[in-house]
Chain A
């Protein structure tokens, strides 16, 4: 026992006393370096991403074509391409339906003017997708191209992608609608246009998933109902396509209805996106 105690004592006196100052100096240096790096994080990240942009874009395109290639193999035929085309066509049609329903619901004349302003008055800036990490997408345009934080981002089918989260000189980060921090006011499009509008919010779950929440309990929602951004939404223009209801989650104890949804925006097929640069919130 005495031997153990004395050896422990020796260890603590000799080894630890020698190790601790070294450890503290090392840790202090590391913290100081990290602090400096975080002070200059924007230029560091911008130059790093600019430097890697070319390779990243190549890898992105390679991944896109490879995934399509493997998809074709697995589906034994040209189904992947066909499916993609059908999806695109479907989204375009849904976009037209959304616009038409909006016109029908309100005053026809006023709605048509407002829709025309909404749909044609936007200035779009095209940007290539370079990377994705946990519901944050990076694009190859930044403050040098006129992008600022909060700008809405859509794809070519008028599907809402998300909004600009952070801007660097040549790069920007987009927070996808599936991000855990994303909450978007939506309306559920009804098959019968005379029925009252159903409002709700789409909340991101992370991992490219989201769900519909805060739908009044007395409102009738069904699978395949289409979700578009509502006029209550301040961050995004109204009537942008977002997703469709997959399954209603029934819970009598909650005051609102929830539903599992499928977002229309597919990150795997995103090559170029459009930033709305002149949307006034």
Chain B
């Protein structure tokens, strides 16, 4: 179990470095993909409810939120904690929405993923740096492409690892 969490921390760290350095050179209208947010959202979205209690899932998403939020805050040169709090709120809301959707099969479809991702990314971006102009659409489209790729990679990995 700890190996999985260590791997997740390393992945978050690598993604944070990549989005702040490597992907800066591939920016579209000044926007770069928020890889840390994409990974965080995907992990929370696919976090399974641990029977019999569901608390395990909540500890997991808390861990994801704190790790991702801390790295986002460190590399976005803002106060430490803003992203952590926003990500915790997003994670809890996402889980609540998913429980309302009552997907008992735990096989969360892609059709839920994309709109929820788009809404929460917009909300997160507005909360961190409020701005309203046409580049939001490019930023959203750019992030959605990466989110889609990550979603299917993750599905494939889950399929092979069982």
A residues apposed to B, CB below 8 Å: 30, 34, 37-38, 41, 44-45, 48-49, 52, 55-57, 59-60, 62-64, 66-67, 130-136, 138, 165-166, 173, 178, 180, 205-209, 267-268
Contact = CB atoms under 8 A, between A and B. Distances in A.
A133 B76 contact: yes
A41 B17 contact: no
Interface string B5-36: 00000000100011011111111011100000
A48 B74 contact: yes
A79 B26 CA distance: 18
A200 to B, nearest CB: 22
Contacts of A30: 84-85, 88
Contacts of A67: 25-26
9 contacts: A34-B85, A37-B81, A59-B17, A66-B22, A133-B75, A134-B76, A138-B20, A207-B30, A207-B31
B12 to A, nearest CB: 12
Q: What 5 pairs between A and B have smallest CB-CB spacing?
A: A207-B30, A34-B81, A63-B25, A67-B25, A63-B22
B20 A56 contact: yes
Given A41-B80, A206-B30, A208-B30, A268 B24 contact: yes
Given A34-B84, A55-B17, A134-B129, A60 B24 contact: yes
Contact of A166 (B17, B77, B88): B77
B131 interface: yes
A52 B18 CA distance: 11
A204 to B, nearest CB: 11
B29 A131 contact: no
Contact of A173 (B74, B77, B88, B133): B77
Output the residue of B17, B23, B76 with the most chain A CB within 10 A: B17
Nearest to A180: B131
Contacts of A34: 80-81, 84-85
B130 to A, nearest CB: 10
B79 A206 contact: no
B88 to A, nearest CB: 8
Contacts of B81: 34, 37-38
A67 B24 CA distance: 10
Given A52-B17, A132-B20, A206 B25 contact: no
B39 to A, nearest CB: 16
Contacts of A130: 21
Contact of A41 (B30, B79, B85): B79
B22 A62 contact: yes
A207 B29 contact: yes
A45 B74 contact: yes
Nearest to A206: B131
Contacts of B129: 134, 206
B135 interface: yes
Contacts of B13: 52
A63 B23 contact: yes
A166 B133 CA distance: 28
Contact of A38 (B20, B21, B25, B79): B79
Contacts of B77: 45, 133, 136, 138, 165-166, 173
A60 B80 contact: no
Contacts of A133: 20, 75-77
A280 B127 CA distance: 38
Interface string B122-135: 00000001010101
